[in-house]
Chains A and B, each alone.
Chain A
Amino acid sequence: MTPRVQVHLWSALRRHTGGAEVVEVEAATTGQLLEALRRDYPGLGPMIDAGVSVAIDGRIYATSLSQPVTPENEIFILQRIKGG
């Protein structure tokens, strides 16, 4: 069974999750996590499409969809980092 992980969202996303800043989804990888968010909270779809990164225990995974996630991790969704 796919484990359930907690995901922290930046607060502007709360409008699409019924006010929740932390949501729980079934996912074993960053890719599954984003898919699950998209499925469970369709309002997040356009925001995810616009580009997001996933931070796992403080390390930012800018684009990776294959990074493992576990219920023990502290997981944040961030707007995708670019630079000059």
Chain B
Amino acid sequence: MALDEYKPQSGDAELENKELKYVGTTPDRPDGLDKVTGKARFGADLSLPGMLFGAIVRSPHAHARIVKIDASKAEALDGVKAVVTRADFATGLEGEYGFVLENVMAGEKALYDGHAVAAVAATSALIARDAAKLVEVEYEVLPHVTDVDKAMAEGAPVINAAYADASVPEGMHPNVVRHHESGHGDVEAGFAEADLIVEDTYVTEAAHQGYIEPNACVAQMGSDGKGELWVCTQGHWYVQKHCAALLGMETAQLRVTASEIGGGFGGKTTVFQEPVALALSRKASRPVKLALQRSEVLRATGPTASASMDIKIGMKKDGTITAAEGTFRLQGGAFPGAPMEFSAMCAFACYDLANVRQVGWDVVSNRPKQAAYRAPGAPMAAFAVESVIDTACNKLGLDPLEVRLKNAAHDGTKASWGPRYDQIGMVATLEAAKAHPHYSAPLEPGQGRGVASGFWFNHGGETSVSLSLSEDGTCQVSVGTPDIGGSRASMALMAAEVLGIPYENIRVTIADTATLGYNDVSHGSRVTYASGLATIKAARAAVEKLCQRAAAKWGIEEDAVKWEDGCAVPSGANAGDFDPLPLAEITATMGSTGGPISGHFEATPEGAGVSFGTHIVDAEVDQETGATKIVRYTVVQDAGKAIHPAYVEGQYQGGAAQGIGWALNEEYVYGEDGRLQNTVFLDYRIPVASDLPMIDAVIVEVPNPGHPYGVRGVGETGIVPPLAAIANAVSNAAGVRLKSLPMNPPKILEALEDQAGDA
């Protein structure tokens, strides 16, 4: 199909064209009052009668065989009620369940510094911590490796010889466990057409999601095989399924309630201490609270992967990219799963390229199992690719936004990762960035400006929503996706839109696993899209019943009633025959006109729309100290449709701030001994208020045809461009290209000195 013939397809076309009354407004969030008064209850905020406190014993070695665990001294301590080891969990688990169990509690080997090897429960947190120190573990220390390139090299210690899957070609080191390759066209022919070829290697360190609330839960298990779990998580059905499997219990017997969640960013899409708390509770026959300490969060929950990447781009003098090639080696800790395929697939996704090839390698090492972090895999790839594009623009004397516009993907472009794009907003974000006053504002001496674009897929996933009306005409909505960014407000706005009743008359609750159907995790920027779509459809189902009741009351056909502005209205031949019947009048008598009125929706929506963003950054580099200050920051991103614009801005600003941290400060520092050196926030330094400027957020709206109001996810794309945009700004300010993150003062000074040495 020729490009000019291409018409955007609209797979599950859902898009409505109507005036919106509630969607797009910015009412106060329903959880606001609880959160400003200290009433909101997070993972560690629940206490139960007879509750014990847990503590985990962790390996101090990066790689070691566990020879013997002697818990007798711990068990003898007054107040200790249970000690568990791997022997207290299910056996024979395979695949992902097997990996999760191995990570939650080590079996034969400790695979990284901080790997859990045992746990205790006691009558107080202090006693539990004392007891953990009394558990004696005998280790046989093994050689270790924590760097991605070293882990792939000949002679590197093997983490697990059985990890590699069928995708890995023969002859690779056993630590290379998965392989990806994709693309189209002929890159060699493309490079031959180029006037300039830029080829370079870029590296990023692992960064942690850095949620402020450490992972925490309260578990209660009885001898009857039933369990209750209160936990801060992005997905309580995931927790239910995995904990049940790891404990060898039936899924339905474990009821999981999601607490308020103090940040997740992908890091709370899996389980760590939850199965341990349940095992302790089962053994002690008492409730157990298990809250991780910050050092445990950093050592033993999942940061993102670290990366080493080779990029080659060919460009004509006019800025046309003739070919692009990238190799992405990602280290994801001691288990398979580093998101190298997303690095590869997202790397060149912003551009319309005739010749593109991308290769990914998933490499294991003696580090904690990586977990998802906001658009997993994409930010590091964008860092490498957008830096190389910027280098090419500088060499050819071209404007970086014009070059991006020249090569931008548009409706119908064959994406670097395979299919053709539907309706997309890449060009729109670039045009908005170009038109923004920031882009033409003068720079002070010592400052540099950087721009970069980024892409993320977004996701649908299994979704259930249940909505019910009360006699007084108010509405309650149960959703199953934990609210990590203001989604309760967004759901209420969408329900208000369909029902035609005020936002304030709707209460949205995150239901527990016993009271609603299955829901996929709050990840993949899916909540406002998928739970939103489900809320809209559940509300429409209720509206249908409301119209039926009105039809019955009026004695007319059901299809002669339409729903307008919160009222049933006779239409067609019956138009004007009866006064509009408001929702509250119908619900007032619903018990005697056919029963309670509710609506529900269960499906796996498949119409998620991809999204693009472009960021502009001004940075100032102190040539003497190497310190960087971000002086101005603008985020432009396609939201499809902003349901609650203030909360969309919040997502953009938060993504940018996390990107600034990853670019300038944050990194996992491992010593020669394989131990993590920076296990507290003082040393793992996330951005503080005085590090940042205001962050201008520009919402572009190119509707997603797969959602009634055009919603695309907004949570993740915002962290994709910052690493590159800041690297470009810093490089332009310092006059030397930075190719390794974080760009902390020592690294910038080193780059400046190298350059001075070269000159």
Contact = CB atoms under 8 A, between A and B. Distances in A.
Interface in A30-79: 43, 46-47, 50, 55-64, 67, 74, 76, 78-79
A79 B608 CA distance: 16
Contacts of A10: 180-182, 418
A37 to B, nearest CB: 14
Contact of A76 (B12, B267, B418): B418
The residue in A55, A74, A84 that gathers the most chain B C-beta atoms within 10 A of its C-beta is A84
A20 interface: no
A12 B523 CA distance: 27
Given A83-B523, A84-B374, 20 more contacts: A10-B180, A10-B181, A12-B180, A12-B182, A46-B166, A47-B167, A56-B11, A57-B11, A57-B419, A57-B422, A58-B11, A59-B9, A59-B12, A60-B606, A62-B608, A81-B457, A82-B523, A83-B376, A84-B373, A84-B524
Nearest to B13: A59
A2 interface: no
Interface residues of B, number: 55
Interface string B576-620: 000000000000000000000000000010111000000000000
A4 interface: no
Interface in A1-21: 8, 10-12, 15-16
Most interface-central of B1, B415, B417 (chain A CB within 10 A): B417
Contacts of B12: 59
Contacts of B706: 59
Nearest to B603: A64
Interface string B164-183: 01110100000000011111
Interface in B320-361: 339, 341-342, 345, 357
A47 to B, nearest CB: 6
Contacts of A59: 9, 11-12, 419, 422, 606-607, 706
A59 B8 CA distance: 10
Grouping DSSP codes into helix (H, G, I), strand (E, B) and loop, the A interface class, with mixed when no group exceeds half, is mixed
B9 A84 contact: no
Contacts of B415: 58
Given A62-B459, A84-B375, A43 B166 contact: yes
Contact of B419 (A43, A50, A55, A64): A55
Which residue of B167, B266, B713, B715 has the most chain A CB atoms within 10 A of its CB atom? B167
B419 A12 contact: no
B563 interface: no
Nearest to A73: B9
Nearest to B371: A84
Which among A43, A58, A67, A74 has the greatest number of chain B C-beta atoms within 10 A? A58
A58 to B, nearest CB: 4
B492 to A, nearest CB: 24
28 contacts: A10-B418, A12-B182, A46-B166, A47-B167, A55-B418, A55-B419, A57-B11, A58-B9, A58-B421, A59-B11, A59-B12, A60-B606, A63-B606, A64-B604, A64-B606, A78-B418, A81-B342, A81-B457, A82-B339, A82-B372, A82-B459, A83-B372, A83-B524, A83-B713, A84-B266, A84-B269, A84-B372, A84-B523
Given A10-B418, A11-B182, A76-B419, A60 B604 contact: no
Q: Which has the most chain B C-beta neighbours within 10 Å: A11, A76, A79, A83?
A: A83
Contacts of B169: 15
A8 B374 CA distance: 28
B265 interface: yes
A63 B169 CA distance: 27
A61 B267 CA distance: 25
B651 interface: no
A51 B460 CA distance: 15
A84 B459 contact: no
Nearest to A64: B606
Contact of B376 (A43, A55, A82): A82
Interface in B412-463: 415, 417-422, 456-462
A83 B604 contact: no
A82 B376 CA distance: 8
B530 to A, nearest CB: 10
A46 B12 CA distance: 29
B242 interface: no
A79 B341 contact: yes
Contacts of A81: 342, 457, 459, 524
Contact of A60 (B180, B373, B419): B419
Nearest to B266: A84
Given A47-B167, A83-B266, A78 B417 contact: yes
Which 9 residue pairs are nearest across A and B when measured between Cβ atoms? A84-B266, A83-B524, A59-B11, A12-B181, A55-B419, A76-B418, A10-B182, A84-B372, A57-B9
Given A59-B9, A62-B459, A83 B716 contact: yes
Nearest to A61: B606
